[in-house]
Amino acid sequence: MVKFRRFLIINNKMIKVTISGASGRMGKALIKAINKNDNFVLLAGATREENNQVGKDLGEIAEIGQVGALLYSSFDKFSGADVIIDFSEPIFSLRTIEFSKNNNIPIVLGTTGYKEEDLSFIEQAAKIIPILKAPNTSIGIAFLRKIIDLTSDSFSFFDKIEISEKHHKDKKDSPSGTAIDLANFLSERVKYKDSISIESQRGGDVAGEHKVILSRQSERVELSHKALDRSIYAEGALVAAQWLKTKPKGLYSMTDIYT
């Protein structure tokens, strides 16, 4: 059932959310997830100026009927938000972070493909506002990281560590942000002389698959996570938004939620 929240008095306990990159794959998944969740209300979405869907109702963009929130090419309607969720692209994401910082609004970053200077900018912004940076917002990847953290002492028994990942044909960054994050996470915890290689595949509409592969002699161990639907990322982003809303300034990750 479509929720026409613009005709309702918003409960003070409802978390007011805006979406940066609202017309993309993840933006649409978030619109659907928020529409089903009575803890959240969707205020607005933002996208690039040249997007021909600017001005449309976000529910129509997500093909669920009107929800009473529109897509804009600016952040003017974001000022009343409790949390911003960003699933856009690096250049637009940096603009969103700047707005978030200037207006003291916590922000969940699901965008990937940042450059080194972008990461420095995010770290500086986190000294002013709470930021949760998550290349992957699924609970499963947070759990996979936890497994690695708890078992990393045993990884030295293996001769080779690799990561493989698969995503849909339109994903721009390769390797994925999740794969790079896992590789960095492993490098910090495992004594391994060689660099951890990442194999990337693009094709179809794959929501996301990641494997950490441990090899020695004639045996192989695989720690894997497969997203069957990108709704898991949207649900995880809402968990992150609810958690981040009350946190002090600082840079957080999904693992911090489940510690």
pLDDT digits (tens, 9 = 90+) for 197-225: 999 999 998 889 999 999 999 999 999 99
Q: What is the pLDDT of residues 133-153, one digit of tens each?
A: 999 999 999 999 999 989 988
- Where are the CATH 3.30.360.10 domain residues in the chain? 139-226
Given a cut of 70, is residue 9 above it in pLDDT? no
* CATH number for the domain whose boundaries are 5-137+231-257: 3.40.50.720
- Where are the CATH 3.40.50.720 domain residues in the chain? 5-137+231-257
* Average pLDDT estimate for 14-32: 96
Whole-number pLDDT of residue 13? 79
Q: Are 48 and 91 in contact (CB under 8 A)?
A: no
Whole-number pLDDT of residue 6? 41
Tokens 């950490």 locate to 212
* Average pLDDT estimate for 76-103: 97
Active site residues: 167, 171
Given a cut of 50, is residue 195 above it in pLDDT? yes
Percent of the chain, pLDDT > 90?
76
* Average pLDDT estimate for 68-86: 96
Higher pLDDT, 181 or 12: 181
Whole-number pLDDT of residue 247? 97
Q: Are 182 and 213 in contact (CB under 8 A)?
A: no
Whole-number pLDDT of residue 201? 94
* CATH number for the domain whose boundaries are 139-226: 3.30.360.10
Closest CA to 241 of 5, 18, 11: 18
- Give alpha helix (H) positions in the chain: 25-36, 58-61, 90-102, 116-125, 139-151, 177-189, 231-244, 254-257
Q: What is the pLDDT of residues 108-132, one digit of tens each?
A: 999 998 999 999 999 999 999 999 9
Average pLDDT, the chain: 91
Three-state secondary structure call for residue 110: coil
* Average pLDDT estimate for 26-34: 97
Given a cut of 60, is residue 1 above it in pLDDT? no
Structure tokens at 242: 């609810």
Closest CA to 110 of 37, 189, 171, 200: 171
Q: What is the pLDDT of residues 35-54, one digit of tens each?
A: 999 999 999 999 999 999 99
Tokens 């959310």 locate to 17
